[in-house]
Every structure is written in C-alpha cells, then in structure tokens.
Structure 1
Amino acid sequence: MLVAIITFIIVFGLIVLVHEFGHYYWAKKSGILVRQFSIGMGPKLVSYTKNHTLYTIRLLPLGGYVMLAGAEDDDEELKPGTIVGLQLDSQGKVIQIDNSQKENNADLIPLQVAQSDLQKELYLEGYVSGDDQNLQRYIVDHDATIIDESGSEMQIAPLDVQFNSASLLNRFLTNLAGPFNNLVFGIIVYIISAFLIGGPLSSGNKLGEIQAHSPAANAQLQPGDQILQVETKKVTNWDQLAQAIAQRPGKATTLTIRKADHKVQKITVKPKTVKNGKDTIGQIGIMPQRNHQFGPTLKYGFTSAFNSMGIIVNALKRMVSGGFNINQLGGPVAIYSQTSQVAAMGYKQVIIFIAWLSINLGIMNLLPIPALDGGKLLLNIVEAIRRKPVSQKTEIIVNLVGVVFLLGLMIAVTWNDIMRFFIK
C-alpha cells in the first residue's frame, strides 16, 4: 500500500507539474506577473520566493495551480484608515508595504492610509504617525512588494503586468500551454516507454516476453525461442500460434520449438484456462518478439500516443452520443486505484500509465467547459470574433457556473469511485 501511495503522489504530482509549468512559462514569457506556483492543495508544506513568485508544495496531492495577477480576484487596494509600514529605497520610493498588523518596526515609516493606487499611478497618500495634519504622498516602485494580513509577501500588480493587459494571443497561448504541455509530455513518455519495452510486436512465431510463473515460464521457454508446431499443427506466424494454443485450455500440449542455438526439441505445457467473453481459451503466458530497431521503435512510440488520443476522444464522443454514465468517469480515487494496480506490474507499466494519464488530462482540460482551460480558450475565441473582450461580469458568472458544475461533478465522481473500488 505504501508503494501505491508513493507512486500515486509521484505520478499525479509530475503530471500536474507539467501542466502548471506550461501556464507558468508562457505567462512569464508574456510579461504577466505570476504570483504563485503551487503543486498540491491545502496547507503549505514548503514555500520559496524568487523573482516575485511564491513557489509552494502543499499537503494534498490533488492538483495544483498558477496564480496570475489580474486573472484572480486580486484586492490589493488599501482601505482608508489602514495603518501600514513603509520601507523606502535611497530615492524615497516605497519598495515594501507591510500590512500585516504586526508590532511596530522602527525601520518602517508608519502611515495611516488616506488613499492609494497600486495599479495605475502607483502612489500612497496618508498621515505619518504623530502628524495627522500634513498629508504625505509617496511614490510606489513598480516592483514593490506588499505583506498582507497573513504575513505573506507578494509583488504589487500594476496594470501592465496583469493577465488582462497581455495581448489576446498571449492570453490564448497562456491558457493553451497547460494542456499542450500534457499532450507533448505524454507523447515523449510514450516514446521513452517504447525504447524501454521495445517497438512494435512481430508477427512471427518467435517469443518475446515470458510472463512470470506462467505455464511457458514453468516449461523453461525463453525469449528468442521459436515455436514451430503445436501438437501436429505447424505454425509460421503469431496468429496461427495463438489460435492453436487458445483451442487447448487445460489440456497437456506438446510444442515443437527451435532454441537460440538452433536445436529443435519438444516440450509439454498445459495452457491455463482463461475466460474471453463467453468463450474459454487457453493461454501459456507468452508475447511476440518486439522490433528494437530505432526507426520502428520511434514510430511505435508516436503511434501509441496518438492511438491513446483517439481512444480518449472516441470515449468522449460515445458519452455525448450514447448517453452519460458516471462510471465512464474517474477522479483521484479511481486514479489511485489504477496506480495501485499498475505499480504492482513494475516501473515500465507505471511509465506507460504516466503517458496515458498526461494525455487524458490534456484532452479533458481542452473541453469547452467554463473554469477549465478549454472554457477560457472559448472566451478568447469569442473575444477574437467580437473584437472586444467579454464583460468582466459575464466572465465571472460563466466561470462561477463552471466551478459549481465541476465541483458537483467531482463530488459525485469521487463518491461513485469510493463505492466502486472500496465498498463492494
């Protein structure tokens, strides 16, 4: 169980990291202030600030987020009457505003705020403690920081570094970058897995992987052995071989094989009985040999990735056309259950699972549902068509509806997963 939990944290954390790094990278490239880059949710475990961005790892490994200035509900304006401490640079500009309400600091100038503008004109006006007659005005540095009431320090967000001040193209690319990263990462990991496991399966009758503790393993069959005959039936390709063994569930079966040293010998195996739908077939735990040449292996990695994309897209189409069934969806509980099963199969299967999950997350995030990246991209497209942005009020309402919908769906899916996987 411990291995499953650790694997789940690594798998889920890695995929979230790749996704959020996409948003983070393009926001930085577009000149948007990234307030926070967080992996996980809930209370902070570790935090580190660099170049005005707070990097955090949080307790619950169930997601993550990138907080962009202007894209969130920023409320930096200081209310009149608020007492703050000001730190000035050598030219008299404010470089830090302490609003944490902590004990007086002799190194800070205590100011009772009369009015402020930390987005456009960048100034503070107020009364220095002990002098309530003379209104003082301070220019605030563009990169000044503010310490909020919780003690967290962040950079102020002038209009030019806010999300909505970026060009439409840069906002579109920032929203797209997360899912795009997941798709590219999934393709890369599929290619890596192809080189670890091997390329496309051969159609010949030579053996590749032998399943541990299977009838084939017990009979000392080895990768590279070539099965020439099943009982009296000659086999020249894998389809013939698989069909001949499938017809003999539970029956002692004589195989004629050619070993790696070209010696031909006969061995006896007893195929295990396996249910295949309504049919009963025989299996001995063998796989065909794989092609390990560079070109076919590279192509196989790409093909595996795009096949996964096709499977996920077709599944979504069936959900829309054939009626919604909550069992077709899975949340963190389902991912944990699948991770647990995959972890027991070895690290190679975990790598394939990472690739599949990353592509799945990328495609799901592109769905045009408010609050998902796809919903934000749809608003960008609407803005491009209308040649003016959607009103802030409309955008807030649309995103709120999306959040409520996704929250309700997540609760329903999680409860359904618990019933499916843990309460039989």
Structure 2
Amino acid sequence: MRTIVTFLIVFGVLVIVHEFGHFFFAKRAGILVREFAIGMGPKIYAHMGKDGTTYTLRLLPIGGYVRMAGLEDEETELSPGMPMSLELDGQGNVQRINVSKKVQLPNSIPLELIAADLVDDLTIRGYENGDESQEVIYTVNHDATVIEENGTEVRIAPRDVQFQSATIGARMLTNFAGPMNNFILTIILFIALAFMQGGISVPNTNQIGTVQPGSPAAEAGIEDNSRILAINDKEISDWNDLTAEIQANPGKEVTMVVAEDGNERTISLTPETTENAGQKIGRIGVGPHMKTGIVDMVAGGFSQTWNLVKEIFKALGSLVTGFSLNKLGGPVMMYQMSSQAASQGIRTVIYLMAFLSVNLGIVNLLPIPAFDGGKILLNIIEALRGKPMDPEKEGLITMAGFVFIMVLMILVTWNDISRFFF
C-alpha cells in the first residue's frame, strides 16, 4: 500500500505540474482548454469548472493531457442523422447538446441532426421530435457545451478560442510550458532537499562531511570534515572516487590516507557490507561535504538540476550509439523505483520525483511528432514558412509520431514486466 500511495503521489504531481504548464499558457493565449485529464483511458470522475474546462480523472495512471480547442483529433464528431437532445437557455439559444445515451436532460428537445456548425456560424439544424416535414434551425450559444457519447461534458470550440487562432509565439510557449514546469519543479525539489538535509553536497572535493557514530569510519578515528587523499594507493580527488573505491570493497580491509587539520596519517578499516539493487557494496558511514548557506542551497537546486540534465543527455547519446530497451523505463519501472524510494524515506521519494521530473521534461522536448518538442518544431517550421503546414500533412505526421510512441511504450512496458517479474 505504501508503494502504491508513493507511486500515485509521484505520478500525480509530475502529470499535474506538466499539464498545468500547458493549461496556464493556453488560457493566457485565449485558447479554450476543453479538458484537463489526469490519467488515460475510461473516465472515473469529471467536473466542469466555471472556466469552461472539464477536469477528469481517468483509470490508467500512464499520463495525462490537456484537450485544447481546435486540434483536429480533439473535436467532437457530429454527423448527419445523429439523434441528440438540446437544452435551451432563456433566450431560446442552445446551451447544451447531448449525444450521450448515458445522460438524460430534463425538458430537452429531441432532434435528428441535419447539420451543425459549432465553429463559425454557431447554428444547428435538424428535425425536431421526429417530424421530418419541417426543418428547424437553432442558434448555438458561444459558450454552449456538448455531452459526448462517453458522458463527458465539454465546451464547444468556436473559431476565436481555437489553438490556431493564437499567435505563433503563444502557441510555441504553450507547447514549451509543460517541460518548462518540469524543470522548475526539479529545481524546487532539489532546493527543498537541500534545506531538509541542512545543506547542499559538494561532490567535486575529497573532503567529507559528517561521520556517523558507530560506523567503520568513526571506529577508525576519522573526524568530520577530514580529507580522504588516497585509498589502497589510489588518489582520491572527489566524492565519486571515494564512493567507487569503498563500494568496491565490501568486507575487505582497505588502507586510507587521511588529512585532518593539515596533518596526514594512514589508517586501515573494513567497509561493512550492505545490499543495493541486489548487489553487495561497501559502506563506511561518511557523508559528502556540505555547504550550509541559504544562497548555496538555493544555487545548489539549480546546479543539481543542470548536472542531472547533462547525465540524461549522456544517456540519450548512449541510446543512439547502442539502442537497448533495458536503457528505457515505463510505468512499471516507475512503480519499482517508487517501491524502493518508499522504503528509504521521504528524502529518497523527493529525489525520485526530481529525477523523473527532469527526465519527463527532456524527453518531451525531443523533436518527435506527438511530443511537445515535435509540436515546437512544427511551430518553428510554420514561423519560417510564414504560413501553417497543411492540416492533413500535419495530422499524418502527428499520427505517425503517436503510433511510434505507443509501440515503443508497449515494448518498454513488456520489457519492464519481463525484467522485474519473470
């Protein structure tokens, strides 16, 4: 249960923060956000806000989306001959259009649709109450809603609130805002971690921080803020060198050259054996050197984010030179990581959230159709050409990208299941 709760919290925060970026800047650009969804698949809960956005919670915790007016694949299909019911406002204009068999509107008018224009003319034509001898035409309110076949109620999308009606700059910013929010969240989480642990670690020095009482380092007489100059005759220049040598020698005696107050001495100690991800590693009970100033901790949030970004780009580079599904992870991997983090405490959970957030931001900026980066690339092409791409071509490109991502997600998920459960 703890793992499930941790997974849902981490997943929920990442998706909400990412999608809120798109949502916020779409609203600022005058674009109608018809739906703000957390999760994918069947709807569990839906509520239409006063801002015209329907907020939904969906069954599958594998993502989320904002459904913006005017994007072709997000429009409600109204076809001739479709039965529906209309609810009118006080002026006799259509306020709600119901095409769902799951919802009944009291005092509504049954209509067999002939044609509807919910973009420019805002009219709907049809036969009322089954009477095909007389065609009726209704004016549709600019802020009318449609109750779709699955029961979700969303606003209609007149031309002036559609995505393509916004400026190219506003659309580009709307597409970029999701990843941007992930980077901001990562920085905030690393700053919070720095305050929780009382400082920011300094990995590029051989100076250690605190020594845990009762640990092998404490029993060997190593003091706080000492410098570890060498281990087994190998020079130690930073924290990574130190941890690599210690972890490689579980239960084996090592010789260390330690500097304290300007004096050097040689000591011997035996790292205790611990397990990490099924592997035995050594541990001596020392922490990294810390900077404890407020400015240092805030700056550390930025530097840690940047260091993580560089590591992710190195990992992406390794995918190009040697692709392997084992280098990728999906929801199952995220669940496994949540399980490990939940057992190690709140700090580990926060670090995991920061790690996944910056990963989500970078991956979404890759120039792949259906990703935010692919959409931004199309925005740039439109700006250079001075006119938008043909909607059919753009739709085909986006669909190809979507199919690619879905196939890759299925392969990654199956690979994760095979790795962790078989």
Alignment of 1:80-159 (within 5 A): 80-101=80-101, 107-129=107-129, 132-159=132-159
2:250 and 2:174 mapped to 1: Cα distance?
58
Offset, 1:384: 0.8
Q: Does 2:200 correspond to 1:199?
A: yes
**TM value normalised by structure 1:** 0.82
1:392 and 1:412 mapped to 2: Cα distance?
30
Offset, 1:286: 1.4
The secondary structure found in structure 2 opposite 1:341 is helix
| Alignment length (residue pairs) | 405
Q: Does 2:345 correspond to 1:343?
A: no
Aligned partner of 2:153: which letter? E
Provide closer, same or farther for how the CA distance between residues 104 and 32 of structure 1 changes in structure 2, counting only shifts above 3 A: closer
Aligned partner of 2:196: which letter? L
Provide closer, same or farther for how the CA distance between residues 82 and 208 of structure 1 changes in structure 2, counting only shifts above 3 A: same
2:353 and 2:332 mapped to 1: Cα distance?
16
2:316 and 2:208 mapped to 1: Cα distance?
38
Offset, 1:403: 1.5
> Is this contact kept in 2: 1:46–1:57, CA < 8 A?
yes
Provide closer, same or farther for how the CA distance between residues 133 and 242 of structure 1 changes in structure 2, counting only shifts above 3 A: closer
1:228 and 1:328 mapped to 2: Cα distance?
34
Offset, 1:87: 2.4
Offset, 1:404: 1.7
- Corresponding residue for residue 216 of structure 2: 215
Q: In percent, how many aligned pairs have the same letter?
A: 45
Aligned partner of 2:210: which letter? G
- Corresponding residue for residue 62 of structure 1: 62
Alignment of 1:173-184 (within 5 A): 173-184=173-184
Provide closer, same or farther for how the CA distance between residues 135 and 418 of structure 1 changes in structure 2, counting only shifts above 3 A: closer
Aligned partner of 2:29: which letter? S
> Is this contact kept in 1: 2:118–2:157, CA < 8 A?
yes
Provide closer, same or farther for how the CA distance between residues 291 and 140 of structure 1 changes in structure 2, counting only shifts above 3 A: same
Q: Does 2:421 correspond to 1:422?
A: yes
2:256 and 2:323 mapped to 1: Cα distance?
49
- Corresponding residue for residue 329 of structure 2: 330
Aligned partner of 2:287: which letter? M
Write out per-residue CA displacement over residues 322-374 of structure 1, whole angstroms, 9 at most, x where no aligned residue: 23222221111222222222222211121111111101110011001111111
Aligned partner of 1:92: which letter? G
Offset, 1:163: 1.4
Q: Over aligned residue pairs, what C-alpha RMSD do you find?
A: 3.9
- Corresponding residue for residue 393 of structure 1: 392
- Corresponding residue for residue 356 of structure 1: 355
Alignment of 1:18-37 (within 5 A): 18-37=17-36
Offset, 1:304: 0.7
> Is this contact kept in 2: 1:369–1:402, CA < 8 A?
yes
Provide closer, same or farther for how the CA distance between residues 49 and 250 of structure 1 changes in structure 2, counting only shifts above 3 A: same
> Is this contact kept in 1: 2:112–2:130, CA < 8 A?
no
1:301 and 1:104 mapped to 2: Cα distance?
53
Report which of the two structures shows the higher radius of gyration computed on alpha carbons.
1
Provide closer, same or farther for how the CA distance between residues 288 and 223 of structure 1 changes in structure 2, counting only shifts above 3 A: farther
Offset, 1:45: 2.5
Alignment of 1:370-385 (within 5 A): 370-385=369-384
1:86 and 1:96 mapped to 2: Cα distance?
6
Q: Which moved more, 1:126-135 or 1:301-310?
A: 126-135
**TM value normalised by structure 2:** 0.83
Write out per-residue CA displacement over residues 297-322 of structure 1, whole angstroms, 9 at most, x where no aligned residue: 222221111000111112212322x2
> Is this contact kept in 1: 2:123–2:137, CA < 8 A?
yes
Aligned partner of 2:379: which letter? N
Offset, 1:110: 3.2
- Corresponding residue for residue 311 of structure 2: 311
The secondary structure found in structure 2 opposite 1:73 is helix
Aligned partner of 1:314: which letter? K
Aligned partner of 2:386: which letter? R
1:378 and 1:292 mapped to 2: Cα distance?
42
The secondary structure found in structure 1 opposite 2:291 is coil
> Is this contact kept in 2: 1:183–1:359, CA < 8 A?
yes
Provide closer, same or farther for how the CA distance between residues 386 and 284 of structure 1 changes in structure 2, counting only shifts above 3 A: same
Offset, 1:188: 1.5
> Is this contact kept in 2: 1:201–1:291, CA < 8 A?
yes
Q: Which moved more, 1:372-381 or 1:118-127?
A: 118-127
Offset, 1:273: 6.2
The secondary structure found in structure 1 opposite 2:73 is coil
